[in-house]
Structure 1
Amino acid sequence: MVPGQRAAALGSDPRPSQLWSATFQRGCGCGKPSALNRPAVPSLELPACRGPEFLMLESVDLECVRYCVVYDSNTSSLEVPLKDGEDEDDEDNADSEDSIHGLASGAAVQYARLLAHLTRHPILILKGGYERFSARYHFFQTQKIIWMPQELDAFQPYPVEILPGRVFLGSFSQACDPKVQKDLKIKAHVNVCMETGPFFRGDAGRLLHIPVEDSLEAEMLPFLRHLCHFIEAHLQVGSAVLVFSTRGIGRSCAAVIAFLMHENQETLKRSWDHVKKCKNNMHPNRALVAQLLGWERVVLGDSVTDVSDPCF
């Protein structure tokens, strides 16, 4: 999208990063931003730009807007190729860690930079723009423009997308929601809480239930190898897997971290950081952290991560 076309602003959760990937994330102010968790947030379409200029919406006080996402039709990078005859903006390019010679910011990035001067909150840019979002998450499209507060309050967050379209992390209530299963095309469950869900009962090929109590005495380490192989087998045939626990912040997070360590042959710290970016309020207890350290020894042959770090 270039100046002269249209851009839009959309509300969502915050993440102080350069590009926002529209994935399933935890709502309620935690984790990466996600319109999927707030599918009916207000969306404003800007008037057409006059030449290289952008028009500011006087009716919107950005200081009162905590979550703002700017998107155009298909922005997929912080920069787009320069057209013939255009000058490279060295100052703008210097602002990006991914600056490449011969590239300049696209319209969504340019407009986001303007908005950034008007608010102390992060201005986010939707990766892939409306085209990618509508293609991946068509079930969140609506023609409705005006929403009542009680209607917005009625919306429930969707599971976190750990691996796009493949591995999801959620709560027991989300695992019991038929609409979530249908929309995300969930084909298998990994249940690490004591409760029993309604889906895939009696189907050992699609349900792995590891009853782990929410306590410091609970053992998960002996089951991690089987858990990882179960998820791996479903990914190989293209099945989406939902991993869940009661609230989706402790045992299920530990299970997903263990899978990433196994799948990518990476450290506990690296897998932890990945899940933390997706779900900022995750909180496996200290016993689970210790067991993940033991799993790191199994995966890598040695303990690499320092779990005394405050981030754990």
Structure 2
Amino acid sequence: PSVIGSMALLTPPNHCCICVSPYIAPSLTELRQILWTNRKPVAPVNQVWPNLYIGDESVARDKTTLSSLGVTHILNAAAGRHRINTGQRFYSDLGVEYHGVEAADHPEFNIQPFFRPAAQFIDSALQKNGKVFVHCAMGVSRSGALVLAYLMICRSLTLVDAIIAVRLNRDIGPNSGFLEQLRQLELSLRPQSRQLTEEEEHADMS
């Protein structure tokens, strides 16, 4: 069955009403299928949304490429002393705004508290016609998760639609823990939504 809720139009004799069935949040299995089907080699950087780029560490350190792209804002999803330790000072000669997220690419890492601050940073930049470069080490898991959160929070996309939109231009792959946290974000953004029951999930897989 589709993960998108169906809509039925009911027309009683004296009035009309639109009845919308609850949106059913996709299972982790369904999300993995969407993410890992027909994958292509990942380039160092891709534009995944107007003026929004995802890339890897090599591009994050390549000021010539960043300048040629016209990047005005950088979101480092792998910030920190023992990860990609760039920071505002590293980019001082480019005149860009920098935001660092000290996230570890482990399923047990709690990345959810960073969803809204990262989304606000991206949205504020795009509202000012800026160009945002979001990166982690490979430009796949941490950066992918934060960009998906932005599309869900600020562009009102469902998680599935956000994944599909990004994958048109870049294959991302948030780890299983990040995917589950994105599922929880979706449930919080869509109060009428629900998760599949175990019985429904097993029936969907059979």
TM-score in same-fold range (> 0.5)? yes
CA distance in 2: counterparts of 1:293 and 1:278, whole angstroms: 22
* Gaps in structure 1 of 5+ consecutive residues: 1-27, 32-156
Instruction: Name the counterpart of 1:230.
Output: 121
Conserved 8 A contact 2:141-2:173:
yes
Alpha-carbon offset, residue 305 of structure 1: 7.2
Q: Answer yes or no: is the 8 Å Cα contact 1:175–1:197 preserved in 2.
A: no
Deviations 1:129-153 (A, max 9, x none): xxxxxxxxxxxxxxxxxxxxxxxxx
Q: Which of 88, 105, 110 is the aligned partner of 1:219?
A: 110
Note closer, same or farther for the CA distance 1:211–1:199 as it changes in structure 2 (3 Å cut).
closer
Secondary structure in structure 2 of the residue aligned to 1:231: helix
Match of residue 196, structure 1, among 80, 84, 88: 84
Shift of residue 238, structure 1, vs aligned partner: 1.1
SS of alignment partner, residue 278 of structure 1: coil
Q: Which runs of 4+ in 1 moved over 4 A?
A: 302-306
Q: Is 2:84–2:137's contact at 8 Å kept on the other side of the alignment?
A: no
Q: Of 291, 295, 298, which residue of structure 1 is paired with 2:185?
A: 295
CA distance in 2, matches of 1:186, 1:305: 38
Question: What code does the residue aligned with 1:298 have?
Answer: S
> Relative to total residues, which structure has the larger helix share, 1 or 2?
2
Residue 239 to residue 300, structure 1, CA distance change in 2 (3 Å): same
Q: Higher relative CO (CA 8 A, sep ≥ 6), structure 1 or 2?
A: 2
Is this contact kept in 2: 1:294–1:303, CA < 8 A?
A: no
- CA distance in structure 1 between the partners assigned to 2:169 and 2:110 by the alignment: 25
Q: SS state of the match for residue 72, structure 2?
A: strand
- Indicate how the Cα distance of structure 1 residues 269 and 237 shifts in structure 2: closer, same or farther if over 3 A, else same: same
**1:161 lines up with 2:172 in the alignment:** no
C-alpha displacement at 1:278, in angstroms? 1.7
8 Å CA contact 2:151–2:157 kept in 1: the answer is yes
Give yes or no for the alignment of 1:208 onto 2:99.
yes
1:15-49: per-residue Cα shift (whole Å, max 9, x none)? xxxxxxxxxxxxx9436xxxxxxxxxxxxxxxxxx
Alignment of 1:36-185 (within 5 A): 157-164=43-50, 166-185=51-70
Residue 163 of structure 1 aligns to which amino acid in structure 2? W
Can you list the C-alpha shifts for 1:191-235, whole angstroms capped at 9, x where unaligned? 1114235463388x8111111111112111111111111111111
2:56–2:139 contact (8 Å) kept in structure 1: yes
Preserved contact between residue 191 and residue 209 of structure 1 (Cα < 8 Å) = yes
Count of aligned residue pairs for this structure pair: 154
Cα distance in 2 for partners of 1:208, 1:163 equals: 19
**TM-score w.r.t. length of structure 2:** 0.66
CA distance in 2, matches of 1:263, 1:257: 10
In the alignment, structure 2 segments of 5+ residues that lack a partner are: 1-38
In structure 1, distance between residues paired with 2:140 and 2:104: 13
Q: Distance in 1 between matches of 2:74 and 2:48?
A: 14
Q: CA deviation at 1:262?
A: 1.3
2:174 aligned residue (269, 273, 284):
284
Task: Give the fraction of aligned pairs with identical amino acids, expressed as a percent.
Answer: 23
Q: Partner of 1:270 in structure 2? A: 161
Post-superposition CA distance 1:142-185 (Å, at most 9, x none): xxxxxxxxxxxxxxx44110123x11001111111112111111
Q: Which amino acid aligns with 1:215?
A: H
Secondary structure, aligned partner of 1:186: coil
Cα distance change, pair 304–238 in 1 and its aligned pair in 2 (3 A): farther
